[in-house]
Structure 1
């Protein structure tokens, strides 16, 4: 044993060509998966963009916190509805991928629409388990009552959950077609939406060309509506209708793309080979 330890300490017995071979293996694995490459740049860029815009807004509005009236806490809770809704949908889908059971399901009488409907229901169940304690903690520690939104809360919730399902359907299709090598998209896509959806700051903070992009996203209207309700005590029905219309288009596009990628996966045999 002592001789083995001395050998390792001196570097004897270590085959550097084997280390090089393993490094090459992981390097080729990285290059073979564009989601992995994207993820390396994704998080640093996302952090600086999101908090940079928030910093700009706070710097330009000295009385922000005095006028906020709970908008930050409200934004956190609504964001969690959006994020957890998509994550709850996608995790239930990934569990079938991890269990290598997806091929069996697709060969059964189960229809794709039935499969997606079950994932939507599980999304609501998972969301309820997470959001109820969060809402109670906001009431206890910060005196923020989400139910104080009243009827507008229904419009906020419905639009956010529709968006989360649409994105969940789309990323599930990507994983279905590209295998578990694209799994990271499930965890990262929604965070890419965050800075453009203007969760913590108004759309006016963004450069003009980015404002045009932001207004194409349904959640943007929800968060703008939430701020209007809390800061101006005004429920913007027009914003909710725009969000609903965009959600309808997004949901239809996501469903069609899922069917296309499902058929592609069937043709290429990737329903059975669900690895990376």
Structure 2
């Protein structure tokens, strides 16, 4: 099939890209081990802290019970974005981006394949950790039921949007910008109220926190665990903000992709 006659959107091309990255992942046990290692370390550290603080009484003990939930949801956000970025960076490290851009692969198909690999990496890394937390600390993330699906959907959308913008910056500025793939989430972490409610922030900072879609997820998680109340309103606001953020991310990525083509930086993908 020639470029002129190839379909504008092809699931087959997406599948081919996913298989390419899957073969790379499954052929390297250090890559697979790394996916589980850091979430497990985080879970153990915060799990034992939760046990220690949980020996207190009253509201403090109840609040301690949210630590593991926050850690595991944070890993969905962080690992989802990192899984997206790492798959993209592997193309950069292999100096293969220029070849992909000259192939029939469309930008939307490339983005879709990175998103699918993000979910695959996330499942491999986070699901075993959630199962370990159950017998070890008595915390069952899956007991959240349907609200967990809302939490996951909003967090993964945020992670894709931010990682897509980072990918565009790396395309335009080269691998010198790859540090953003690891650091951007941590820069935003204090504003997302991962381990504490928004109400304890200074009032002038709270407005910034409420502009972040993950903030609504972590507030919703605390409402579910502490008050046994699912805040559908928070999830709806988060979803709307995520749609806006993702739309902006797509525009930014396509703009930076075009600028990198004009500047000729697709082939020169070094530092």
TM over 0.5: yes
Aligned residue for 1:189, secondary structure, equals helix
- 1:97 equivalent to 2:92? Answer yes
- 1:74 equivalent to 2:54? Answer no
How far, CA to CA, are the matches of 1:256 and 1:64 in structure 2?
A: 45
Q: 1:228 aligns with which of 223, 226, 234?
A: 223
- Alignment correspondent of 2:244: 249
- Alignment correspondent of 1:198: 193
Cα deviations by residue, 1:44-77 (Å, 9 ceiling, x for unpaired): xxxxxxxxxxxxxx9xx98443222620000000
CA separation of 1:235 and 1:69: change in aligned 2, threshold 3 A: farther
The count of aligned residue pairs is: 217
How far, CA to CA, are the matches of 1:112 and 1:93 in structure 2?
A: 12
Aligned residue for 1:129, secondary structure, equals helix
How far, CA to CA, are the matches of 1:206 and 1:62 in structure 2?
A: 24
- Alignment correspondent of 2:210: 215
How far, CA to CA, are the matches of 1:208 and 1:133 in structure 2?
A: 39
Task: Give ranges in structure 1 of 5+ residues lacking alignment.
Answer: 1-57
Query: Normalized against structure 1, the TM-score is what?
Result: 0.77
Query: Normalized against structure 2, the TM-score is what?
Result: 0.78
CA separation of 1:124 and 1:202: change in aligned 2, threshold 3 A: same
CA separation of 1:148 and 1:223: change in aligned 2, threshold 3 A: same
How far 1:156 sits from its partner (Å)?
0.4
How far, CA to CA, are the matches of 1:227 and 1:128 in structure 2?
A: 23
Larger Rg: 1
What RMSD, in angstroms, separates the aligned Cα atoms of the two structures?
Answer: 1.4
Task: Give ranges in structure 2 of 5+ residues lacking alignment.
Answer: 1-52
How far 1:105 sits from its partner (Å)?
0.2
Q: 2:181 aligns with which of 183, 186, 194?
A: 186
The 8 Å contact of residues 198 and 223 in structure 1, kept in 2 or not, is answered as: yes
